[in-house]
Structure 1
Amino acid sequence: MAILPKKFMPLAVGGVVAAALVVGGGAWWINKQRFEATDNAFIQADKVSVAPQVDGYVAEVLVADNASVAAGQVLVRLDTSQLRATLAQAEANAAALDAAVRGVDDKARLEQAMIAQKAAGVDAARAESQLAQAELNRYGALANQGWVSPQRAQTAHAAASQATASVAQARATLEAERRTADSLGSTRAQTQAQAQAAHAAVDKARIDLERAEIKSPVAGVVGARAVRPGQYVRPGSALMSVVPLGEAYVIANFKETQVARLRVGQPVTIHADAFGKQEIKGHVDSFAPATGSEFALIPVENAVGNFTKIAQRLPVKIKVDPASPLAGALRPGLSVEVKVDVRTNTGPSFAEVQPAKEYAREGVSR
């Protein structure tokens, strides 16, 4: 093999470097034309915080840290002695008010019988009044002819007056009974309303008793378990979180100079440091409605004199394909690198996504 003279060595090295730059630059340019990539991406999942809806002492914790659970599985049981006592008290109160309603019904039936009795009394008093009036008319005529003494006529007049008063009294008694019967209607309505409220209290007590068993709202893995037996818990206090690992997704923050070529449905290759060089497949699902800085606790104020333009980043949601071998192994919070194949133009870009009012208009037209 011939050895190059020393004076040609720099030229040879320069040629190799130039060739490497050309090859590397060409590969970079081709890659840049085919893909948009970022390492500002993280795994996320719609984790659910598990909290009690009733207060009480924890009797049992049925799951361990990082345990897999199914939807509806019992995670924690609270002590139910107080809740059972409340339910028994509510049931007794409801039973008492139901009996009160039946008592009002019984009294109403009795009042109807009393009304019938008083109506018969009115008829009897009216008959007595008619008889007394006939006696008065007869004895009055006889007294005018001198056949009976004036005293006897006066007695007949008094009897007629007394019979008339008896009719008035019987009618007043009948009206009083009718008003009493009418008042029972409002009494029954009030008592029935109280009974319905008592039954609602029974239903609530039963629901509270059922809620003493705290169940998993979704299938996933238990994390951040902060509950222990004997602990007193209140409604809304976080006991643990359930992370649906099989439904994890990626939020990739692309620069605003990159998103022009991104479209919904484009294939994505995901690399996570936790899995080495293994690839995870996914696709672009949707675009955030604003840049990440707009959702910050303290948004950036750009109306200042010393403004420096910085490329903003738009969060892009990437769904992981369920068929990927590592789809169920992704853990929220892991950082990943994503590469979007922009050669596919299957769906709308972030600029072509319809605003909400357009969707509403389409819904009305449909």
Structure 2
Amino acid sequence: MNIAVDEQRAQLGADTTPPPRHGRQRLYWLGGAALSLAVLGYSLYWLDSGRYLEQTDDAYVRADWITISPKVAGYVAEVLVADNQAVAAGDPLVRIHDRDYQARLLQARARQNESRAAIAAQQAALVTLEARLQEQQALIDQAAADIDSARAERQRAQLDFQRYRDLVAQQAASEQRLESASADFARARSALSRAEAAASRQHTRLSVLQASREQATALLDQQRARAAEADASLELASHELEDTLIRAPIAGVVGQRRVRQRQYVTPGLPLLALVPVEQSFVVANFKETQLRRMRPGQPVTLLVDSFPGQVLHGRVDSFSPGSGAVFALLPPDNATGNFTKIVQRFPVKVVLEDGARQKLPILPGMSVIAEVDTHEP
């Protein structure tokens, strides 16, 4: 028994004998070489590209979504889309009862017809006045001819009167003949006066007709203005009738659908949101110390938290004109006594490469890790 125990102890003592010294030195040398290679590799990586990479995890997918609101008031007749439904530009979304708007359209069309009839009647009246003006001008010409005739007759009667007066003075004609010539001369003067008075009346009537024509022209312009107003009212009524059917202005996905059938809506009331997911982009908030070498057009590598291991690519599009604190609802007041300097962040818009949405079904609001390669201009 003692001999067996001694042999086991001898074997255990042989197993726990420390390794040779040159073996440990080889392990140390291999470890140091591997560490040196790792440090050298990282240094080369950092010198070549690592120092040009700016990364932030304060980045999110965004989209320029819009709120759909009605332009007219009324009760909702039908909601034509469901929650999270994809729609194309021009697809109907909501229909409002259009009975009142159809009646307004008929009323506006009746006013338009009335205004056009008034224009036609006024144009006819103006044509009548033009004809009367032409007739009056002919009467004025006739009156002028009558004046010329009466003036000639007065001249003849005056010459007869003077001739017979001289003859009576020479006792070559009778007094009776002189009296007859004097009467003819008086009648001729009276006829000339009447012709001149008639011509004056004709000129006065011409002035009245010309004033009536100006008044009729003004009324015609007024009727045309009313017709233009009626046309505008008809156009507005037509637009309001068209606006009872709300259509999608852009392609996107329906979200925040609050509208319900038989609900009364007013202009500006939010009904639903339309999110253009195909036009998604990324907003990355970089520290102000990271923007020194950052320029538009530089490549960006994107890692979406929802899809581990999947990589998207994009490019820097633009920079915000101010930090997030500038556009905050309550911006900080650094002019206070308790001042603590905090590194500010600036939103940077990153546009995705073509087909990124087909590669990964990203949605606005998803968290992203953005890395910008500032080595490239």
Partner of 2:269: 237
Instruction: From the superposition, tell whether residues 325 and 339 of structure 1 become closer, same or farther in structure 2 (CA, over 3 Å).
Output: same
**Matches of 1:25 and 1:238 in 2, distance apart?**
60
Where do 1:184-333 residues align within 5 Å?
A: 184-185=213-214, 187-210=216-239, 211-212=242-243, 213-326=245-358, 329-333=361-365
Farther off after superposition, 302-311 or 88-97: 88-97
- 2:84 corresponds to 1:63: no
Question: C-alpha displacement at 1:189, in angstroms?
Answer: 4.4
Equivalences for 1:5-154 in 2 at 5 Å?
30=46, 33-78=51-96, 79=98, 80-130=101-151, 132-134=153-155, 136-137=157-158, 140-141=161-162, 144=165, 145=168, 146-148=175-177, 150=179, 153-154=182-183
Contact 2:119/2:223, CA 8 A, preserved across alignment: no
Q: Which runs of 5+ in 1 are unaligned?
A: 6-11, 347-366
CA distance 1:260–1:215, shift in 2 (3 Å): same
Please state how far the C-alpha of 1:133 moved relative to its aligned partner: 1.4
Query: 1:325 offset after TM fit, Å?
Result: 4.7
Mark the CA change 1:94 to 1:85 in structure 2 (over 3 Å): closer, same or farther: same
Residue 41 and residue 157 in structure 1: after superposition, are their counterparts in 2 closer, same or farther (change >3 A)? same
Q: Deviations over 1:137-161 (max 9, x none)?
A: 2563476332336477346515522
Counterpart of 2:126, as a letter, is D
> Structure 1 stretch 43-52 or stretch 304-313: which is displaced more?
43-52
Give 1:313 shift: 0.3
Matching residue of 1:342? 374
Q: Could you tell me which amino acid in structure 2 is paired with residue 206 of structure 1?
A: E
* TM-score, with structure 2 as normaliser: 0.74
Aligned sequence identity (%): 33
- Match of 2:177, SS state, is coil
Listed one character per residue, the Cα deviations across residues 192-228 of structure 1 (whole Å, up to 9, x for unaligned) are: 3541452354245324423423332222122223333
Q: 2:112–2:234: 8 Å Cα contact kept in structure 1?
A: no
* RMSD (Å) for aligned C-alpha atoms: 3.6
Match of 1:161 among 176, 190, 196: 190
SS at match of 2:289: coil
SS in structure 2 of the partner of residue 329 of structure 1? coil
Q: With the length of structure 1 as denominator, give the TM-score of the two structures.
A: 0.76
- Unmatched runs of 5 consecutive residues or more in structure 2: 1-14, 19-26, 169-174
* 1:344-359 superposed matches below 5 A: 345-346=376-377
Residue 111 of structure 1 aligns to a residue whose secondary structure is: helix
AA in 2 matched with 1:115: Q
Give me the whole-angstrom Cα distance separating, in 1, the residues matched to 2:118 and 2:192: 45
Q: Conserved in 2, the CA contact under 8 Å of 1:118 and 1:174? A: no
The 1:63/1:103 distance shift into structure 2, 3 A limit, reads: farther
- Which whole-Å deviations, capped at 9, do the CAs of 1:110-138 have from their partners, x for residues lacking one? 23333233224323431452354146425
Could you report, residue by residue, the CA deviation over 1:50-98 in whole angstroms, capped at 9, with x for unpaired residues? Answer: 2333444444433232222222333333313233234323322431342
Higher Cα radius of gyration: 2
Q: Distance in 2 between matches of 1:110 and 1:296?
A: 76
**Compared CA separation, residues 309 and 278, structure 1 to 2 (3 A):** same
Match of 1:8 in 2: none
* Contact 1:282–1:320 under 8 Å retained in 2: yes
Q: Once the 2 structures are TM-superposed, how far is the Cα of residue 305 of structure 1 from its aligned partner?
A: 1.5
Helix, strand or coil for the counterpart of 1:161?
Answer: helix
The answer to whether the Cα contact below 8 Å between 2:123 and 2:220 also exists between their aligned partners in 1 is no
C-alpha separation in 1, matches of 2:213 and 2:93:
51
Distance 1:117 1:225, change over 3 A: farther
TM-superposition CA deviations, 1:306-336 (whole Å, max 9, x none)? 1100000011000011222546733222222
Q: Residues 3 and 257 from structure 1, CA distance in 2 versus in 1: closer, same or farther, beyond 3 angstroms?
A: farther
| 1:328-359 CA-partner distances (Å, limit 9, x unpaired) | 7332222222122333x22xxxxxxxxxxxxx
In structure 2, relative to structure 1, the CA distance for the partners of 1:325 and 1:49 (3 Å cut) is: closer
CA distance in 1, matches of 2:200, 2:61: 88
What code does the residue aligned with 2:60 have?
F
